[in-house]
Chain A
Amino acid sequence: MGHHNPDSPSHLKHYFHDVNQQYETSKFAMWAFILTEVLTFAGLFVAYIVYRSWYPDMFVDAHKLLDVNKGLMNTIVLITSSLTMALAIWAIQKNNKKLSVLMLVATFIFALVFLGIKYLEYSHKFEVGQLPGEFYSYMGPDAAHLNNPHIFFSIYFIMTGLHGLHVAIGMGLIAWLIYSTQKGNLTSEYYTPMEMIGIFWHLVDLIWIYLFPLFYLIG
């Protein structure tokens, strides 16, 4: 750091020309990561598309075993959490630390509510045996005519499960943001981690935007 201009901020790494270049580089790398995330989920979306085209009627019938109200509630919760995340960044850009922390806490709570609702859904499915693959054992009257419903639940659990894992990881990252912002490490001069985690959090919202109609609102 010996070559540092004494005027340059402490968060500027010596291998960057200026803070803006550093910020743009971080952001571009984040989008490269988002690309890998989209491709990870792409594999699962392809599985969904292939099996749905093989079993169109079963998908329509099996989806009726899901609770639309819980799915819609989670959609509302996640969209609201995306708003509070965006507002946390807006607040830190305006150097309003208090509001930023408040918005991050709100985002964290919404994420917790999302996982709570997901837990209620999952535990009900575990109870009645609407489970993936060979663990499927539900033989209720509304499922007696279904042809291979365990395929639907395999895809449902893997896709919503991986999405839920992203929500959980996002909560960890947001908790760290709350700590860093409260401590004063993030300011309007330097809030790169919040912007990056924000992009991650909006991706989680974006994927749910597709999962919701694909699983809860078929036909």
Chain B
Amino acid sequence: MSEHHITPLRTYLIIAASLLFLSGVTVWVSYIDLGSFNIVLAMFVATVKASLVAFFFMHLLWDDKKNLTMFLMSLMFFGIFVTITMLDTEFRGDLGLNPETKDPINKRAAFYDTLPLTDTHGHPVDEHSDKHHEDKDHH
């Protein structure tokens, strides 16, 4: 096993210090209001940190590239998973089939009785008009 790459100690320490520094940065940045850009920046910093962990701590940088390929494939499958799911969940309202409106998910929570029924955007939902719809569907 002596032919395996041995990462120098200095590299490990620099990577760990960078990870701790970036953790601080991401907390600091989260207190600044950048609107929707906050989440983009947070995910960018997280991805830089994740890359440092994968390439240096998990030794992908020095490994045979088949291991990196396997890892990137898992991320690709994740991308497909997200995309296809969101093609459904993001456009349900367009068809007038929003199941969240028909059957609000706060129904089973302990505080159900204390809150008005709402749709996904927090607008109140009229229970009776909804039931009327269901009746029409059945006949």
Q: How far, in whole Å, are A37 and B28 apart by their CA atoms in the complex?
A: 30
Interface magnitude class on chain B: 35 or more
Who on chain B is nearest to A19 by CB?
B1
Do B110 and A42 have beta carbons less than 8 Å apart? no
- Distance, CA A34 to CA B45, complexed state (A): 22
Indicate if the CB atoms of A217 and B122 lie closer than 8 Å: no
- Cα distance, A59 to B1, chains bound together (Å): 49
Q: Is A105 an interface residue (CB 8 A)?
A: no
State whether A75 and B9 are in contact (beta carbons under 8 Å apart), knowing that A35-B73, A199-B58, A206-B50 are contacts in the complex.
Answer: no
B85 on the A face (CB < 8 A): yes
Point out the residues of chain A lying under 8 angstroms from B63, CB to CB. 27
A168 within 8 A of B: no
**B61 sits at the interface (CB 8 A):** no
A213's partner among B15, B30, B90 (CB-CB below 8 A) is: B30
Q: CA separation between A49 and B90, bound complex, in Å? A: 11
Residue of B nearest to A53 (CB): B90
List, in ascending order, chain B residues with CB within 8 A of A191's CB: 1
Q: Which residue in chain A gives the minimum CB-CB distance to B114?
A: A139
Binding site for B on A (CB under 8 A): 19-20, 23-24, 27-28, 31-32, 34-35, 38-39, 42-43, 45-46, 49-50, 53-55, 57-58, 68, 72, 75-76, 79-80, 82-83, 85-87, 90, 93-94, 129, 133-137, 139, 147-148, 150-151, 188-191, 195, 198-199, 202-203, 205-206, 209-210, 212-214, 217-219
